[in-house]
């Protein structure tokens, strides 16, 4: 019998308990031994809960219990969770976690602590077994890129904004009412949650140790009706993507909204669903689609990791024999892609000429142009051929200084 202690019995933890109890026969038939959730730890013991497991409010009751073989960390947070997982590993316990924030910061620290198996399938796109796909199924491939919709809340909001004309603030309120977005939604809409996930996947693909602060992270907060109009006019959808690409010996890792062609499979992924595409030299492109969050979908991945442990899996955290990467992180200045630029100007003669001169001086060539005007002002929407991020940014700084420019110009990247 394998005994499981669960630290954090909230949305995901409760589902883990229920799966282990309700699917006991199925699980036992797969691993030939019983897996029993023996103790849960919560913060507030007086909270009413619909689960059948002994509870404690003392983490040590699990960590110091020599009978517990597997610790499931579902309390969330970064540093406290790191201490808990570290202690569990040092005590010789197996660990399973769904905590992407913990792994975004501490995956290499945890890797070096112990050779006990640490399962984290649930940390990236809960219901999609993408960790396993990259670590195992695609392990013979040189990966050239990973990109995906890794945050259901922002995808739900973007879908509603584009397909049904909701404004950002309106749909954020609806997402909060439906329980998709937190009271403080910054993590989801600001791209941070997706950043944690793409950093984890980048480490599996390239063994690269990058932290959230080192990569470009932008959210969906600044998308307006102008971007939506431009997308419709030029055959794009708008998606918040986690992107990771191998460019020579550098790895380009970033999260931001993109215009992506309506023909691209990822552009068709709507609502709270997640999807990730991986390009490898042997398989070319493969795509993984499914629910990215929710108690049951996430717990499904947690229990799969527990089953792996029962089956004797004991591989390294990221799938490498050491943690020396042959790659370095690319500076976001060196991103090379197509761009969309929006500039609000006074509707005067010569405006376009001055703007295009600045673009030309920075080696930026314009691909398409759209103008929306009212009586006194105009919104100029450009798309460019491939250009360097630092050139676009410095062009926008110069353009902002022009007397007829009414507000800070904005830009968005076009993903091909
Ligand atoms: N929810 C999802 O769809 C989802 C998807 C993917 C990954 N995840 C990750 O899974 C983890 C858990 O998420 P969740 O949604 O289940 O969170 P949650 O509903 O807020 O549950 C957190 C649980 O941890 C307990 N807890 C928090 N701090 C604690 C402490 N210091 N000591 C003891 N117990 C503590 C809470 O106790 P009380 O019940 O007493 O408050 C609660 O039971 C997070 O890392 C999250 O990022 C969640």
CA of 389 to the centre of ligand 1 (A): 38
Residue in this structure with the two tokens 């290499």, named with its chain if needed: 108
What pLDDT does residue 77 have?
Answer: 96
Residues whose CB falls within 8 Å of the CB of residue 51, separated by 6 or more in sequence, listed in order:
9, 14, 17, 18, 40
11 ligand 1 Cβ < 6 A = yes
Closest residue by CA, ligand 1 atom 32 = 43
Write b or e for each residue in 326-348: b if 16 or more Cβ atoms lie within 10 A of its Cβ, otherwise e.
ebebbebeebebbbbbbbbbeee
From the candidates 93, 147, 197, 279, give the one annotated as an active-site residue: 197
11 marked ligand binding residue: yes
Q: 332-415 belongs to which homologous superfamily?
A: ACT domain (3.30.70.260)
Closest of 141, 108, 107, 139 to residue 123, by C-alpha: 107
Per the CB < 8 A criterion, the answer to whether 214 and 329 are in contact is yes
What pLDDT does residue 375 have?
Answer: 82
Residues of the chain with CATH 3.30.360.10: 132-289
pLDDT tens per residue, range 297-319: 999 999 999 999 999 998 899 99
User: What is the arithmetic mean of pLDDT over 89-113?
Assistant: 96
Residues of the chain with CATH 3.40.50.720: 2-128+297-310
Question: Quick one: which atom of ligand 1 is closest to the CA of 49?
Answer: 39
What pLDDT does residue 325 have?
Answer: 85
Tell me the backbone φ, ψ of residue 390, rounded to 5 degrees.
-70, -30
Answer yes or no: is pLDDT of 114 > 90. Answer: no
2-128+297-310: CATH class: alpha beta
159 marked ligand binding residue: no
Residues whose CB falls within 8 Å of the CB of residue 331, separated by 6 or more in sequence, listed in order:
none
What is this structure's pTM?
0.97
Question: Quick one: which atom of ligand 1 is closest to the CA of 99?
Answer: 45
99 ligand 1 Cβ < 6 A = yes
Site to substitute for ligand 1 among 50, 62, 74, 105, most atoms within 8 A of C-beta: 74
What pLDDT does residue 184 have?
Answer: 86
8 marked ligand binding residue: yes
Residues of the chain with CATH 3.30.70.260: 332-415
Answer yes or no: is pLDDT of 286 > 90. Answer: yes
CA of 7 to the centre of ligand 1 (A): 8
CA of 275 to the centre of ligand 1 (A): 24
Pairing between β-strand 366-373 and β-strand 377-384 as defined by DSSP bridges? antiparallel
Question: Quick one: which atom of ligand 1 is closest to the CA of 12?
Answer: 16
What pLDDT does residue 323 have?
Answer: 79
Tally of residues, the chain = 416
- Whole-number Å distance between alpha carbons of 1 and 4: 10
Strand partners, 276: 148, 288
95 ligand 1 Cβ < 6 A = no
200 ligand 1 Cβ < 6 A = no
Question: Quick one: which atom of ligand 1 is closest to the CA of 44?
Answer: 40
A 10 A CB-CB count for 202 gives 29
What pLDDT does residue 196 have?
Answer: 98
Site to substitute for ligand 1 among 5, 6, 7, 8, most atoms within 8 A of C-beta: 8
Answer yes or no: is pLDDT of 61 > 90. Answer: yes
pLDDT tens per residue, range 167-208: 999 999 999 998 888 888 999 999 999 999 999 999 999 999
Closest residue by CA, ligand 1 atom 15 = 11
- Whole-number Å distance between alpha carbons of 75 and 61: 15
User: What is the arithmetic mean of pLDDT over 393-410?
Assistant: 97
CA of 8 to the centre of ligand 1 (A): 5
Reply yes or no on whether 43 is catalytic.
Answer: no
**CATH for 132-289, options being 3.30.360.10, 3.40.50.12280, 3.30.450.20, 3.10.450.50:** 3.30.360.10
Question: Quick one: which atom of ligand 1 is closest to the CA of 295?
Answer: 3
């Amino acid at each position: 019998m394998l005994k499981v202690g669960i630290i954090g019995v909230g949305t995901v933890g409760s589902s883990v308990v229920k799966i282990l109890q309700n699917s006991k026969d199925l699980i036992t038939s797969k691993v030939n031994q019983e897996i029993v959730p023996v103790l849960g730890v919560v913060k507030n013991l007086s909270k009413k809960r619909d689960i059948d497991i002994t509870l404690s409010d003392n983490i040590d009751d699990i960590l110091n219990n020599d009978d517990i073989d597997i610790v499931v960390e579902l309390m969330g947070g970064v540093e406290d969770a790191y201490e808990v997982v570290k202690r569990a590993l040092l005590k010789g316990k197996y660990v399973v976690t769904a905590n992407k924030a913990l792994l975004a910061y501490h995956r290499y620290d945890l890797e070096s602590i112990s050779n006990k198996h640490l399962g984290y399938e649930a940390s990236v796109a809960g219901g999609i077994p993408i960790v396993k796909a990259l670590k195992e199924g695609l392990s013979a491939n040189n990966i050239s890129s990973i990109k995906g919709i890794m945050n259901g809340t922002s995808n739900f909001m973007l879908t509603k904004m584009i397909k049904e004309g909701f404004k950002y603030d309106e749909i954020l309120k609806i997402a909060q009412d439906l329980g998709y977005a937190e009271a403080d939604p910054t993590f989801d809409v600001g791209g941070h949650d997706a950043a944690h996930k793409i950093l984890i996947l980048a480490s599996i693909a390239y063994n690269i140790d990058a932290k959230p602060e080192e990569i470009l992270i932008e959210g969906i907060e600044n998308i307006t009706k102008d971007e939506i109009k431009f997308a419709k006019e030029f055959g794009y959808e708008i998606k918040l993507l986690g992107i990771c690409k191998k460019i020579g010996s550098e790895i380009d890792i970033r999260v931001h909204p993109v215009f992506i062609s309506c023909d691209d499979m990822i552009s068709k992924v709507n609502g709270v669903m997640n999807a990730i595409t991986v390009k490898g030299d042997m398989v070319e492109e493969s795509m993984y689609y499914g629910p990215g969050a929710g108690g049951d979908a996430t717990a499904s991945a947690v229990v799969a990791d527990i089953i792996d442990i029962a089956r004797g899996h004991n591989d390294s955290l990221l799938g490498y024999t050491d943690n020396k990467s042959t790659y370095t992180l690319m500076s976001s200045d060196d991103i090379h892609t197509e761009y969309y630029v929006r500039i609000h100007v006074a509707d005067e003669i010569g405006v376009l000429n001055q703007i295009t001169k600045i673009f030309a001086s920075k080696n930026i060539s314009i691909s398409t142009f759209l103008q929306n005007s009212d009586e006194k002002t105009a919104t100029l929407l450009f798309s460019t051929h491939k250009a360097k991020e630092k050139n676009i940014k410095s062009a926008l700084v110069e353009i902002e200084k022009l007397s007829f420019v009414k507000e800070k110009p904005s830009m968005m990247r076009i993903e091909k």
